[in-house]
Homo-oligomer: A and B are copies of this chain.
C-alpha cells in the first residue's frame, strides 16, 4: 500500500480511504490512486485490514459434506450473495466424528470469520452452547435450534403430506426408508420419520416397525437388503416413502431389477425434488436448498451488521408435494384380483 501511496503521491491513509470507497476523497486524487493501484496490481490484504477492523470479511460454513445435491445447491445460491457483500466463503467440512470432535474443541473459526452457517447437523446441546460462545452470529440451516437463528423447511409437515398422498391413493402398508443415521449427521431424517408416523396415526393405520428400514447412504447393496426385508414381510408394503430422492431412485432401481413394476405393484415417493426426480418421473416432496442458502446468507449478513437484530428468528420455508409417475393406487389384493380380473379394471 505504501508503494501505491508513493506512486500516487499521497499518504497511505488516502489510499486506504480510496480503496474502501469512502466518499471523503477528491475525485482527482481518487483517480490517481486507483490507477496506481491497478498498475501495481495491488490488492488489500484482508489479513492486515481485519487485524485493525476486527472484521474478517469472511463467512464460514460448517457442512457435513460437499458432494450432495443439497449442499451444492445451497452453497451455489449463497455464494453470489456473499460476493455481492464483498465477503469470502470459508468452508469447514466435517466428515466424521473425529473431525467433529476436533472442530468443536478447537473452534478454528473463532476470530477467523464474521459469522458461521451450520448446515444439517444434529447438534448436541453441548455443541450448540459451544457455538454460542464463538463470538460471532451462528445461523442454523436445515435444522432448528431453540432460541437461535434458524432457516429450514418443516420436514415433519412435508413428510406428513407425502404420506397422506399415499394414504389418499389407497395405500395402507406404507414403508419408510431412510439413510442410516451416521450419528448426529442427519437432522432431517428423524423429522421426516416423525411426519410419516403422524400421518399414519391420523389415518388410523397402526405403526409397524418392520416397515421402517434403514440403509447406509449411497450404498446399492444396503438398499437391496432393505428392499429385500420389505419384500419378504408377511404383508409387504404397497408403497415406499424414501426420505430422499437418491434413496428413492435406488429403491426403484432395485424393484425394477426384480421385475416389480413401479408404480403398478409398488409406489415410490421421494423427498427433495432433485433434477433426477424429473428424469425418473419420481413423485416427491420439493424443498429448495437454494432458497435456504439465500435466506441464511441474508440473515447472516443482517446479524453481522446489526447486532441488535433478533437472534432467535426462525425462517421456515415451504415444501410442496409433486405428484409424478411413481405413485399410483395400490394393486387390488390378491384375492380380489383373482375374483375380478386384472387390477387395472377395478375402479372402472
Contact = CB atoms under 8 A, between A and B. Distances in A.
A234 interface: no
A48 interface: yes
A6 interface: no
B88 A88 contact: no
A289 B278 CA distance: 25
Interface string A40-62: 01010111101100001010000
Contact of A50 (B47, B66, B68): B47
**Size class of the A contact interface (CB-based, 8 Å):** 35 or more
Nearest to A96: B80
Contacts of A212: none
B56 A67 contact: no
Contacts of A69: 67
A51 B275 CA distance: 45
Given A43-B111, A279-B249, A279-B253, A79 B50 contact: no
B79 A47 contact: no
A184 to B, nearest CB: 18
A75 B63 CA distance: 12
A41 B108 CA distance: 11
A76 B88 CA distance: 19
B79 A72 contact: no
Contacts of A58: 90
Contact of A91 (B89, B249, B279): B89
A88 B93 CA distance: 10
A253 B276 CA distance: 10
Contact of A93 (B56, B76, B93): B76
B218 A246 contact: no
What 9 pairs between A and B have smallest CB-CB spacing? Answer: A67-B72, A43-B110, A79-B93, A67-B76, A66-B76, A253-B279, A66-B75, A47-B50, A45-B111
